[in-house]
Amino acid sequence: MILAPILVLIVNYRTAALTIQAIESVLTEVRSRRDAHILVVDNGSADGSPTVLTEAIARLHAGDCCSLLVLDDNHGFSAGNNAGLNHYRQAAAVQGGAVWPDYVWLLNPDTIAEPRALGALVDFLTEHPRAGLAGGRCLRPDGSVRDSAFRFHTPWNDLITALDIGPLRKLLSRHDVIMRVGDHPCRSEWLSGSHLMIRGAVFDRIGLFDPGYFLYFEETDFCARAADAGFEAWHVPASRIIHLGGKATGLTERPLKRRPRYWFASRARFMIRRHGRAMTHLANLVWICGWPVGTLLARLRRRPRPNPPRLWFDFIRHNYGIGGVMYQPAPTITLSAES
C-alpha cells in the first residue's frame, strides 16, 4: 500500500461491479490531487470479488493510487473499515509514515462521486479545525436529495418518526431525527456513513469504529463518541455523490424485504449506550404505541407509507421476543485503536 495524507476507504461485500463504478467516479480527482489513495476492503465476499476487483484496478491502470485488502470473513461494516484503517497503520509503521491519514473518506460502494466531491470536504475540514467530521449531499439517481444529516435518536424523535404526520413533523422539526438542510454548510449531530470524511485526529482521540455494530448505527455511534470528545460534525452540500440507495446492503428506501435482526440489535446498542436501558425501553414503548396510530392516519388520508413488511411485529419480536436484543448485556464503549 502507498501511504497518502488522504485515505479513500471503500468496503465491498459482493458488490464488485458497484465498487468498480465507485472507484472510477473518484479516480480522476484522486489522480489529479496526488495526495490520496483508494483502499478497497473486500469483506469476505467469497464470490470472486477479489479477482474481479484486482482485474479492474489493473485495467484502469490505478495500481499507483488504488489497492485491495482481502479479508477472509465478513464481520460487518465497522470491522471492515477497522481492518482498512489498521492496514494503513501497519503500512505506516513499516514505511515510517504518519500513524493516521490526515483525512479518511468513507465511501459506500453503491455511490458515484461527482467532481470535487473529495476536495470540497478536504477544503472544509482544512478551513474549520474544530470540525472533525464532514459529510456531503447525497442524491438519488433522479437528482432528488436523500437525507444525510441527522440528529441523535431520542425517545421523543422516535415518536415523531413513528407517527410520521406531516404537520407534526413541521411543528417539531427542531427535534426531528432528519435535519432539513440548505445549500450552505451547517452543523449536524450525525452524518450518513455512505459519504463521510473523518479527520485522522478523531481516530487518535476516540479509537476506531465499534465492531459490535454489524451494520447500521455504527456511524451514529462514532459521531456521538466524537461529539463527546469535542469534535463538530458538519454537512457540506458542495460535496455531492449519487447514492444508489441500499444496493450494497439490500435495504433500499422502499424495501421489499423485512428488516433484519441486526438492524434492531444495532439500534438497541446505540440507544442503550446513549440513553441507558430505562430510556430505551421508553423509546421502544412510544414507538410501539405510535406506529399503529401513524399507519392508521396514513390510510385514512390515503397517504402512501412505504415501509418494510411486518415492521411493527418485527420490532416487538426482535426487541422482546425469545432472545430479544433488549435482554442482551449492556454494550461497552470500544476505545482501542486496534479493535
In the block, cell 427535534 appears at 175
Distance between CA 36 and CA 105 in Å, rounded?
10
Distance between CA 285 and CA 218 in Å, rounded?
23
Which residue spans of the chain are classified as CATH 3.90.550.60?
A: 6-152+189-243
Q: From 109, 105, 147, select the one nearest 8 (Cα to Cα).
A: 105
Mean pLDDT of 75-85: 97
Write down the pLDDT at residue 249.
57
Tens of pLDDT, residue by residue over 95-149, are: 988 899 999 999 999 999 999 999 999 999 999 999 999 999 999 999 999 999 9
Question: Where does the pLDDT of residue 336 fall: very low under 50, low under 70, confident under 90, or very high at 90 and above?
Answer: low
Tens of pLDDT, residue by residue over 168-227, are: 888 878 889 999 999 999 999 999 999 999 999 999 999 999 999 999 999 999 999 999
Other C-beta atoms within 10 Å of 218: how many? 24
The CATH code for residues 6-152+189-243 is 3.90.550.60
- Let me know if 110 is exposed, middle or buried by CB neighbors in 10 A (0-12, 13-18, 19+): buried
Buried b (16+ CB within 10 A) or exposed e, 264-300: bbbbbbbbbbbbeeeebbbbbebbeebbeebbeebee
Q: Which residues are registered as beta bridge partners of 138?
A: 146, 241
Write down the pLDDT at residue 302.
86
Tens of pLDDT, residue by residue over 141-174, are: 999 999 999 999 998 898 898 888 888 888 878 8
Between the alpha carbon of residue 319 and those of residues 109, 183, 285, the distances in Å are 30, 39, 11
Other C-beta atoms within 10 Å of 187: how many? 11
pLDDT(338) > 80: no
Widest distance between CA atoms in the chain: 65
Mean pLDDT of 290-315: 91
Write down the pLDDT at residue 339.
52
For 284, list phi and psi in degrees, rounded to 5.
Answer: -65, -40
Write down the pLDDT at residue 165.
83
Tens of pLDDT, residue by residue over 234-252, are: 999 999 999 997 655 555 5
Distance between CA 51 and CA 228 in Å, rounded?
41
